C-alpha cells in the first residue's frame, strides 16, 4: 500500500463521517442504478439504447456549460438530447455549470456554480433537477456541508454498496470503465449487492468501441446491464431508487425553496 493510497483512504473516511445526511433504504433492495457523468452523446445514443433494450433507464449528470462541446470523452450533449432522453424515461441530473472542481475554489463559489448549473438544466428541460454528482469525484468537507440544503442527493465516486443506511450527501458509486476484461469485477459487485440487498450505483462516461480512459465499450456496458437484471435487482434511475425508498425529492432550484428531505415512516417496498 502506497502513501498516496493510505492518505486517500483516510480522506474518504473523514469525508464519509462528516456532514452526513443519513437515510435508510429500508427493505427496498437490491437496486442497481447506471449513471453517466458529463453526458457524452454516446452515453445516450449507445448506452441509453442498451438500457432501453432491457426495459430499464439511466441517470445522466450534465454540466450545462459543456453543451455542444467536445472533450476527451467525445462529443457532448446537445439541447435536443435533454428532451429526447426525458421522453424515453431517463433521468437528468446536474454536474455544476462549468464542470468545476470544489478543490479549486471556495465553497461559496462552488455552490454558486452548482446552483447555476442546476437552474440552467431545469430551464432547458422544464423539470426539477435535484440529483447531483461531484465533478471529477472531488469532494471537500466544505462543499459537502454547503450543498445539503438544496439537493436531494450528491453522488460521489467513492466505491461501495449503499445500504441499509445511506448518506444522501455522499452516495457511493463504482466506475464502469474499459472492456470485457472488467466484467468479472462488475459481476462481483452485482452479486455482492444482491446478497446485501443494497443499492449499487455504477458510473461511466462515453460508451464507444474505443472508449476514453473514463468510458467503457458497448460490450462491457451491455454485460453489466444484463447481469444487473439477471441478479433480480430492480434497475432504477437514481431518482426512482430514492423514491422507492420513500424519500421526498427536493423541489425546483429556480427560486423555489426546496422542501426538507424526509424519510417516510414506512417505505413503499416489499
Burial of residue 250 (number of CB atoms within 10 Å: 0-12, 13-18, 19+):
buried
In a domain, 249, yes or no: no
Q: What pLDDT was estimated at residue 6? A: 61
pLDDT band at 269 (very low <50, low <70, confident <90, very high): low
Whether the per-residue pLDDT at 252 is higher than 70: the answer is no
**Alpha carbon distance 24, 201 (integer Å):** 16
Q: Model-level pTM?
A: 0.91
In a domain, 250, yes or no: no
Q: Grid cell 462488475 — which residue?
A: 186
In a domain, 68, yes or no: yes
CATH code, 138: 3.20.20.370
Domain of 197, in residue numbers: 3-244
Number of domains in the chain: 1
| Ramachandran area for residue 39 (φ above 0: left; ψ -120 to 50: alpha; else beta) | left
The reply to whether 268 falls in a domain is: no
Task: Tell me: pLDDT of 266 over 50.
Answer: no
Candidates 205, 213, 153, 147; CA nearest to 178 is: 213
Q: Quick check: is 43 in a domain?
A: yes
Cell, residue 217: 465499450
In this structure, is residue 146 part of a structural domain?
yes
Kindly tell me if the per-residue pLDDT of 219 is higher than 60.
yes
Q: Is residue 217 part of a domain?
A: yes
162 within domain boundaries: yes
Amino acid at each position: 500500500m502506497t502513501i498516496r493510497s493510505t492518505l486517500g483512504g483516510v480522506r474518504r473516511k473523514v469525508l464519509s463521517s462528516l456532514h452526513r445526511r443519513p437515510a435508510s433504504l429500508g427493505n427496498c433492495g437490491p437496486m442497481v442504478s447506471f449513471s453517466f457523468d458529463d453526458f457524452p452523446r454516446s452515453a445516450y445514443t449507445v448506452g441509453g439504447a442498451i438500457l432501453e433494450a432491457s426495459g430499464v433507464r439511466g441517470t445522466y449528470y450534465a454540466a450545462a456549460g459543456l453543451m455542444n462541446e467536445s472533450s476527451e470523452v467525445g462529443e457532448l450533449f446537445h439541447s435536443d438530447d435533454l428532451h429526447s432522453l426525458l421522453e424515453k424515461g431517463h433521468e437528468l441530473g446536474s454536474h455544476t455549470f462549468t464542470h468545476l472542481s470544489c478543490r479549486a475554489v471556495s465553497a461559496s463559489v462552488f455552490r454558486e456554480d452548482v446552483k447555476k448549473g442546476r437552474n440552467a438544466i431545469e430551464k432547458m428541460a422544464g423539470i426539477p433537477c435535484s440529483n447531483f454528482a461531484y465533478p471529477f469525484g472531488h469532494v471537500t468537507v466544505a462543499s459537502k456541508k454547503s450543498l445539503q440544503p438544496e439537493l436531494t442527493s450528491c453522488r460521489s465516486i467513492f466505491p461501495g454498496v449503499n445500504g441499509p443506511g445511506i448518506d444522501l450527501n455522499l452516495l457511493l458509486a463504482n466506475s464502469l470503465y474499459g472492456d470485457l476484461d472488467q466484467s468479472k469485477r462488475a459481476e462481483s459487485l452485482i452479486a455482492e449487492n444482491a446478497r446485501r440487498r443494497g443499492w449499487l450505483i455504477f458510473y461511466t462516461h462515453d460508451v464507444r468501441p474505443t472508449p476514453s480512459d473514463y468510458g467503457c465499450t458497448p460490450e462491457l456496458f451491455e454485460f453489466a446491464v444484463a447481469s444487473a437484471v439477471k441478479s433480480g435487482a430492480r434497475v432504477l434511475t437514481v431518482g426512482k431508487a430514492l423514491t422507492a425508498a420513500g424519500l421526498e425529492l427536493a423541489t425546483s432550484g429556480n427560486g423555489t425553496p426546496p422542501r426538507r428531505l424526509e424519510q417516510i415512516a414506512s417505505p413503499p417496498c416489499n
